């Protein structure tokens, strides 16, 4: 079994919980309050700033030049597409980071001193879960008049599918050439970041910055 198959099996229950979240159900039928979606976009905008740097750091550590080029492309071209999509929905650029966003980005950055295979595995849920969520929503969405149809279309686009395929390929190659212990840690990072994806959407639906705010 490929590492990616093992990792998806380990996180499948989390994915099932994600697609049943009220945020995504309401996004699919267009009833999600716009202030909740804008909160999400404002946090995602800050997440992507960190994510692009993590992608570039992974690129600098990869052994094969073609994989270096692929990850640099993710960091530059893929992030540019997402940033452009964010601007369509006018993110609040003055918003502070939510607890979920801070937790997620801090975890990603903390993988930088581990084996590059583990660092790469940590970023994969953002590719893979978003793609699968986009496909799922596209199947059930009421697209006519849906204010979020551009977001739905972007994350179910075939180009995003190809980026995800390449990212999985690279992670599988790294897993195949490493030790069983590193492979185990790759799966642990993948599952943890899958949980972070759930937390990110849950936080956005509740519009929660921090449970305890400074007076």
Q: What CATH number does the domain located at 3-206 have?
A: 1.20.910.10
- For the chain, the domains span 3-206
Q: Is the pTM of this model over 0.85?
A: yes
Q: What is the DSSP string of the chain?
A: --HHHHHHHHHHHHHHHHHTSHHHHHHHHT-S-HHHHHHHHHHHHHHHHHHHHHHHHHHHH-SSHHHHHHHHHIIIIIHHHHHHHHHHT---TTPPPPHHHHHHHHHHHHGGGS-HHHHHHHHHHHHHHHHHHHHHHHHH---TT-TTHHHHHHHT-HHHHHHHHHHHHHHHHHHHTS-HHHHHHHHHHHHHHHHHHHHHHHHHHHT-S-SS---
**pLDDT tens-digit series, residues 64-100:** 999 999 999 998 876 676 667 667 777 787 888 999 9
Q: How confident is the model at residue 155 (pLDDT cuts 50, 70, 90)?
A: confident
Q: How confident is the model at residue 150 (pLDDT cuts 50, 70, 90)?
A: confident
pLDDT for 210 equals 85
């Amino acid at each position: 079994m490929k590492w990616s198959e093992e990792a998806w099996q380990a996180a499948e229950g989390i994915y099932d919980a994600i697609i049943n979240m009220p945020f995504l159900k309401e996004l699919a039928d267009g009833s999600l309050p716009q202030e909740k979606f804008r909160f999400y976009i404002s946090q995602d905008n800050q997440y992507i700033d960190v994510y692009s740097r993590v992608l570039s750091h992974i690129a600098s550590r990869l052994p094969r030049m073609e994989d270096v080029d692929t990850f640099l492309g993710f960091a530059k071209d893929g992030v540019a597409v997402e940033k452009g999509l964010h601007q369509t929905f006018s993110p609040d650029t003055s918003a502070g980071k939510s607890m979920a966003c801070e937790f997620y980005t801090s975890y990603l950055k903390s993988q930088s001193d581990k084996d590059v295979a583990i660092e790469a595995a940590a970023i994969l849920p953002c590719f893979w879960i978003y793609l699968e969520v986009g496909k799922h929503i596209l199947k059930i969405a009421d697209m006519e008049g849906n204010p979020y149809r551009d977001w739905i279309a972007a994350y179910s686009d075939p180009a995003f599918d190809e980026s995800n395929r390449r990212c999985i390929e690279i992670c599988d190659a790294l897993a195949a050439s490493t030790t069983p212990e590193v492979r185990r840690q790759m799966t642990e990072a993948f599952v943890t970041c899958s949980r972070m994806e759930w937390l990110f959407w849950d936080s956005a639906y509740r519009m929660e910055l921090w449970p305890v705010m400074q007076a």
